[in-house]
Structure 1
């Protein structure tokens, strides 16, 4: 055997071994592409696309620590005497939006948890320390169905006046909104702010808009079981260094929309002293706060006057301090009462 034949044979053997090893080699699979979260700017800031969908999601909420206090005769109506009460609250809201042929389809879920071991005596322990669905609703083409706060829940920026009942019902609502003008009508399942029995049905309507430096809103509601009407008008106007707010209310008898008196008038002036500091003095008069055996308003009156201080410490961290004087005169034999109440609040929003 010559050298040439030997070299050729060796090369053939090496090729055969290499081919066999190549056939037995494990080939790694190509990695799947990763879909990173994309920002969705179609509905404002804070939204992102849920991976793999065209639905935009926004998560927001706040953590709040608050200390309430009261002194004088009025204290017995609030925190069980001349005492104080602390409360911690956590709230998170999920808002999902997607485009449809009828416009944006919106779904909102708001969870709220409260811890207040020594709250007002008129609220049960389960109410003071609970985790609840504060809101949950579907919104499309102006229609909204579910559990949500209604128009009456919106009040002044200060914490002196009492012009709402914090209503939050299961509702069916339609609202037309052009940006500068809105009008709507709702049918609501009323809860037990006022006990009347029956069908628990309420009908609620709103109309409002912006007119230059003025914003105005008119609300009208009818509590079917109470056979009662409630009306509220609110006007805001930019005057000087602040915003002036004026509200008027009327109810022919206590009902689920307004039960604090037969009629009331309230005013506030929110002065933005700096970019971080707002001072809001306010006053309110309410007439016929007493209720007789037939469930009708029957005399008495109440005055409220106070001031609220709002200060933004840093972005998304703010404080609120309010101090209010309240005086109640009764015509039904109850003792007249007066006193001071207020609270301090620290809130981190996100």
Structure 2
């Protein structure tokens, strides 16, 4: 033992002796305990039986072109006033929390996700591509006890059956709206069969319920080693409109997985403007695609543990077609780079019925567009 070690130990003993002699009690140290019941990253909140996990991601994206949600950024030259194209750029911070606690009525869980965004986009009143802070968005905030879930979630019409591929721009031929308050019940038979019943408020001008009757969503799924088959149906109470989707996922090999999904929605009373209120896109909250039917198909191929390729095709009755393809590369664990290119063909965007004789139906010029994005995301 060195002289420094001896002197250090002696000094520590003297300090403890002085504290006790002065009648001062040393504060006990309460260490954080790991909780692995609900997965990695959880720890016990000191003094409770509640397990907490904190996470999120930081994302930076830059892109150009004119495809769906990547609509080409336009601006005026600061010196000449000439209208010209430019890049768009966005940065997002997403903060997430998870909690879990065992109770006599089942597992009590919560999940929250809050998103903050800064970036450029064309404004509604001006073509200038200004950069600014967007509003804080509460994406998720729900409580679940056993199979009962309450709070802010994405509609079960989308989340239960699955999203349209592992691509960034998956809204070419949209497959449903998202934000809503919910009262849901999930059932899992532990043999591959699961189901959901969801009462939903919707959101937006034409999506939020306008009476005491909520929107209704029901779904069922069967999952096995080969993949899964699922279906979901939704009733839009605002417009007496019904929409449904059927999806199949197939695991072809360890490196390759494929999916296909079809959707069909009735028109209901989407053209009813007796109250001078017309759905701007003629599709309500659930049937967001053009016309009665739509389809989506694609897959993922894993080259290795770091690299994957994703491809997605979509189309609907109004002849709106799109193709999205990307390469995702993990630079280091938790940090990924995605390079994506997208193509779409705008056919007929209509309001209400497909029949062109309907006065509420409009026909847009056909347009072929290409765009792309480069995205970097650090997840934690």
Q: Normalising by the residue count of structure 1, what TM-score does the alignment of the two structures yield?
A: 0.81
String of CA shifts for 1:41-85, please: whole Å, max 9, x gaps: 1111111011111111010100011123214xx589824555432
Shift of 1:31: 1.4
**Is 1:138 aligned with 2:131?**
no
Residues 58-97 of structure 1 mapped to structure 2, 5 A cutoff:
58-71=53-66, 78-81=71-74, 82-97=85-100
Match of 1:52? 47
Q: Give the match for residue 249 of structure 1.
A: 263
**Could you tell me whether the CA contact under 8 Å between 1:80 and 1:121 is conserved in 2?**
no
Corresponding position of 1:235: 248
Q: Quick one: distance in 2 between partners of 1:311 and 1:245?
A: 22
Q: Which residue of 1 aligns with 2:310?
A: 280
Partner of residue 154, structure 2: 149
Residue 194 (structure 1) aligned with residue 206 (structure 2):
yes
Unaligned runs of 5+ in 1: 1-24, 289-300
Q: Partners of 1:286 and 1:75 in 2: how far apart? A: 14
2:344 alignment counterpart: 326
Candidates 199, 219, 224, aligned match of 1:211: 224
Deviations 1:209-237 (A, max 9, x none): 21221112211101101211111112111
> Residue 372 of structure 2 aligns with which residue?
342
Match of 2:288 among 253, 259, 265: 259
| Paired residues of 1:160 and 1:308 also in contact (CA < 8 A) | no
Question: Aligned residue for 1:13?
Answer: none
Q: Separation in 1 of the partners of 2:343 and 2:125?
A: 21
CA contact (8 A) 1:160 1:283 kept: no
Q: What is the distance in 1 between the residues matched to 2:176 and 2:231?
A: 16
Counterparts in 2 of 1:161 and 1:54: CA distance versus 1, 3 Å: closer
Deviates more, 1:137-146 or 1:234-243: 234-243
Out of 159, 172, 185, the residue aligned to residue 197 of structure 2 is 185
Question: How many Å separate the matches in 2 of 1:127 and 1:108?
Answer: 28
Q: Which has the larger radius of gyration?
A: 1
> How many residues matched?
312
Contact 2:295 2:316 (C-alpha < 8 Å) held by counterparts:
yes
2:327 to 303, 309, 313: 309
Alpha-carbon separation, structure 1, partners of 2:22 and 2:68: 78
Q: Secondary structure at the match of 1:51?
A: coil
Aligned with 1:158 (options 144, 161, 167): 167
Q: 1:322 to 1:233 in 2, by over 3 A?
A: same
CA contact (8 A) 2:185 2:196 kept: yes
Contact 1:117–1:129 at 8 Å: present in 2 too? Answer: no
The separation in 2 between residues aligned to 1:245 and 1:130, in whole angstroms, is: 35
TM-score by length of 2: 0.75
RMSD (Å) for aligned C-alpha atoms:
2.8
Work out the CA distance in 1 between the residues paired with 2:217 and 2:312.
Answer: 27
Separation in 2, partners of 1:131, 1:256:
23
How many angstroms apart in 1 are the aligned matches of 2:324 and 2:201? 34
| CA–CA distance in structure 2, aligned partners of residues 37 and 195 of structure 1 | 44
Q: Could you tell me which residue of structure 2 aligns to residue 15 of structure 1? A: none
Change (3 A) 1:243 1:54: same
Distance in 2 of aligned mates of 1:318 and 1:181: 33
